[in-house]
Amino acid sequence: MESSLQHYRHNERVQEFKSKYIKPMLVTALPKLESFFGETFTRIIHREVRKEIEGACAMNVECVRQVQGKIFFKCNSFGEPDVEHVVEFDRGEGMLKCECMWFKHREVDEERQE
C-alpha cells in the first residue's frame, strides 16, 4: 500500500513540475488561448481544453442574416462541407436553436445530470 502511495505522489510531483516549468506544445488554430490554458492549468486539464478547442475550430460558421433580434448562422464541419446546419440565435431569450435539435437534446441531458 505504501509503495503504491509513494508511486502516486511521485507521479503527482512530476506532473506538477512539468506544468510549472515546461511549456506545452501548441497544436490548435487558437495558440493564444491554448497557451493561456497551458500556463494556467495542469497538463491533464490542458489536454481536455485542447480537445474542446479543436472541436470548436472544426466548424465553419457564416452569418446568413439578422431578423428582429435573431441571428441565423450556417454551420458545417471541415470534414463534411456539403452537410450544412442552420442555427438560430435569439438575443432576447439567449436561446440557440438548430434544425437537428442538438441544443435541445443537450438541455435534456444536462437536466438529467442534475
**Distance between CA 114 and CA 102 in Å, rounded?**
19
**Distance between CA 113 and CA 79 in Å, rounded?**
31
**What pLDDT, on the 0 to 100 scale, is given for residue 109?**
46
At 7 the three-state DSSP class reads helix
The domains of the chain are located at: 2-57, 59-113
Q: Higher-confidence residue: 112 or 57?
A: 57
The strand pair at 80-90 and 95-98 is best described as antiparallel
For residue range 46-89, list pLDDT tens digits in order.
888 888 777 766 677 777 888 888 888 887 776 666 777 788 88
For residue range 85-107, list pLDDT tens digits in order.
788 888 888 777 777 765 555 55
